[in-house]
Amino acid sequence: MRWMLIPMLLFAAVMMTGCVYEYTEEDGYRMAVINEGFPVPKNAYELKPADCTSEIAKSAKYKLKGIGDEEGTPPADYLEEIQRWGWNELEDKRVGHVHYFEKKGKIMSLIIQENVFDVFEMSDDVEL
């Protein structure tokens, strides 16, 4: 019985390393760690965020395969989900793959890159 335990553990370890966090709309969304009212894909893996600056009050960085293409274009259904949570995109403020959203005077920034995205809660005194 013991001789079977080692191969089973090795097999389990190989299977677990093959798991990939990948974007799918069906997996749903959860609250961002920096703002309970801002959605992030449920299966996004949190990384060490960038340091905050005078313009950024809080930041979070996530890794998720398929979240953005080479140009940093986010999935349309993710943008729709953000709007369903009550955030309005400030489309006139968008710069490349940097999106800004506003809700009740709070401004969030979403930066999408290929397989990685950042969420920033902007400082209250920031002028866009």
What is the per-residue pLDDT across 6-49, written as a single tens digit (0 to 9) for each?
555 444 444 444 445 667 666 789 999 899 899 999 999 888 77
- Non-local CB neighbours of 6 within 8 Å, separated by 6+ positions: none
Q: pTM (2 decimals)?
A: 0.76
Domain-wise residue ranges, the chain: 2-122
Residue 18: left (phi > 0), alpha (psi -120 to 50), or beta?
Answer: alpha
Q: How many CB atoms lie within 10 A of CB 101?
A: 22
Percent residues over pLDDT 90 in the chain: 51
Q: What is the structure's pLDDT at 68? A: 87
User: What does the alpha-carbon distance between residue 87 and residue 116 come to, in Å, rounded to a whole number?
Assistant: 21
Distances (CA, A) of 5 to 1, 2, 16, 59: 7, 5, 16, 43
Query: What value does the mean pLDDT take over residues 48-70?
Result: 85
Q: Across residues 60-88, what is the average pLDDT?
A: 92
Q: What is the pLDDT of residue 28?
A: 87
